[in-house]
Structure 1
Amino acid sequence: MTNKLTQQQLALAYKNACMAELQALKPGNVHAFADGHGMTIQDFIQSAEVTAEPITRPGFSVGERVFYSVEATKNAVGQNTNLGMLLLCAPLIHTAFNLQAGQALWNQLDITLRQLTVDDAALVARAIVLANPGGLGTSDQHDVHEAPQISLLEMMCSAQDKDRISWQYANAFQDVVSFGVNLYADALLKWENVAWATTALYLGFLTNYADTHVQRKHGIEVAKSLMQEAKEIESSYWATNNPKLMQKQLLVWDTSLKARKINPGTSADLTVATLLASNLVLVT
């Protein structure tokens, strides 16, 4: 007996995660309170809309979910708004599609990752080249500009030390499963408000992990400095019973980060993936 989720259910869980992340004030990132880095919130809303179908299409492989979603994004908004997020969400959605009754999402996710193929790697490599993310150069090993000879999991494992999204593949999404989902649940319990809880989740990722998107563009020292700035903000945030009182301080920091061209994109991607995982746990 299987516990099959429909494409409509998965598309809704995905869109809800995307929209919740956009509604939360995430300093340095694009959100409902401020655009930034040459992108608008409308770009992200449109990206969520056009990718909800391909990323949840029945019968697609993980690689197809990523590639056709990146292609749809490029056609709709003309730039990369969501590559990292798609790389994280595709295996989660694929897992939910293949979940058996009574089986834990996390156990099946491990199976999904181990079953990734060379074809998945080739499609993801094409998607990365098409998206052309900031900081993408060439690599001595498993360069995305060349046809992969290894599975997507092996490709991600080889990049895990310099990219936190690749690290998720190599480590069964532990940042999402063990850290993010629990932190988000705690924040929801404390404030009973999705937007406030999402800001707390984003600050948690900023504080606990060097953002590898920032690291690629600005170097490790800037990434570490960002962690330190985030720690001070996060401490005040959790101390308040009304995060709305933190809004002005968060917006000042947001303006400062954007003036320095610091965009913690990996932390935002991990935030969306955690929201999606939390949504999927509720419906599976």
Structure 2
Amino acid sequence: MNGIAALARETQHARDCFLRACELDVAVRKPGNVSFASPGHRMTAELFIASAQAAARPLFKPGATVGERIEGAVEATWAVAGCNTNLGILLLCAPIARAVELAPDAIGSAARLQAAVEEVLQALDLCDAQAAYRAIARAHPGGLGSAPEQDVRQPPSIGLREAMALAADRDTIARLYRDGYGALLDLATDSLGAAFSLLPMAQGDAAGARTTAAVQRLYLALLGGIPDSHIVRIHGEAVAHSVMAAAQGWQASAGGAASLDADPDFAAWDDALKARRINPGTTADLTVAALLLAGLVRP
């Protein structure tokens, strides 16, 4: 009974970290993305919060496979949002949720958590691929396009990790499925800093500003490190590289403990991206997954 209670406690902790990561995703201004300070792309921050709350239960359902978690969470999201708000987040977080259930002792250790996620990725099979393909088709993300092999509009014939490997050269989320989550975990640790804590919620203006600054550092490191897959699909490589270069220019300003919210040029960049319908959606998804990993490493 103690073991069951401990597992339930760790699962609840992981679920709380997921919800907090999704909250920070829209609580913090991240240029091009939806936030409480700046709605956009015909969506609001409240829609993202509702989506996270709806998705949390199937995402952390005891005993569910990765594919079942993805498909159930996408269906729950559509029931409350009626659109795709979080497919990338769910694809990234489902293996983490499964890893925490199978290896609850991984919480608190970066090495054990990375190993647990890798074990989950290695075990992905055809059933996971079938469920994930149905979820992707249901969400119908923008700029999905077609693939010469294992296109999501057709039933897959290989396991989910193998299918993701085929898309790894053009999609960052697929690349993480292929290569593991180690690079994302390392980047989260480096960007957020040793003092960062996901839970409990930071209290007070100073603590809130430090949290905001840390999330913005993480976002800019991700956006400045690799062309955003969603931007590439919709607008092409040149636009994605221009956004990446702009993020690199902001990284030096994000190096301190103060957030960038007081800088009018930062808000203007956000508005300009939205005016051009440029949405670094993959980077936002990676930010949530990185925050979840960081929260699990530093419970």
> Normalising by structure 2, what TM-score?
0.89
| Correspondence for 1:195 | 212
> Is the CA contact (8 Å cut-off) linking 1:187 and 1:197 kept in structure 2?
no
| Correspondence for 1:55 | 59
Distance 1:211 1:152, change over 3 A: same
User: Residue deviations 1:157-212, cap 9 Å, x none?
Assistant: 110000000011111123312212321225849x8522221111101111111101
1:234 to 231, 248, 251: 251
The letter for the 2-side match of 1:254 is: D
Distance 1:187 1:10, change over 3 A: closer
2:48 to 32, 35, 44: 44
> Is the CA contact (8 Å cut-off) linking 1:24 and 1:195 kept in structure 2?
yes
> Is the CA contact (8 Å cut-off) linking 1:157 and 1:167 kept in structure 2?
yes
| Correspondence for 1:110 | 118
- Displacement, 1:245? 6.2
| Correspondence for 1:175 | 183
| Correspondence for 2:200 | none
- Displacement, 1:21? 1.6
> Is the CA contact (8 Å cut-off) linking 2:212 and 2:259 kept in structure 1?
no
Correspondence list, 1:124-273, <5 A: 124-185=132-193, 188=196, 193-238=210-255, 240-244=256-260, 246-273=262-289
The letter for the 2-side match of 1:273 is: A
| Correspondence for 1:89 | 93
Distance 1:100 1:40 in 2: 34
> Is the CA contact (8 Å cut-off) linking 1:114 and 1:153 kept in structure 2?
yes
List runs of 5+ in structure 1 lacking aligned partners.
Answer: none
The letter for the 1-side match of 2:274 is: K
Residue 298 of structure 2 corresponds to residue 282 of structure 1: yes
**SS state of the match for residue 298, structure 2?**
helix
Distance 2:78 2:261 in 1: 38
**SS state of the match for residue 204, structure 1?**
helix
**SS state of the match for residue 37, structure 2?**
coil
> Is the CA contact (8 Å cut-off) linking 2:254 and 2:260 kept in structure 1?
no
1:18 to 17, 22, 35: 22
User: Residue deviations 1:234-277, cap 9 Å, x none?
Assistant: 22222x55335644221110000001111000110000001101
CA RMSD, 1 decimal = 1.9
The letter for the 1-side match of 2:143 is: G
Distance 1:100 1:256, change over 3 A: closer
The letter for the 1-side match of 2:114 is: W
Residue 85 of structure 2 corresponds to residue 77 of structure 1: no
Distance 1:159 1:153 in 2: 10
> Is the CA contact (8 Å cut-off) linking 1:214 and 1:264 kept in structure 2?
yes
- Displacement, 1:156? 0.6
Detail structure 1 runs of 4+ shifted over 2 Å in the superposition. Answer: 1-10, 100-103, 185-189, 240-247
Residue 121 of structure 2 corresponds to residue 121 of structure 1: no
Distance 1:201 1:101, change over 3 A: closer
User: Identity of aligned pairs, percent?
Assistant: 37
> Is the CA contact (8 Å cut-off) linking 1:157 and 1:169 kept in structure 2?
yes
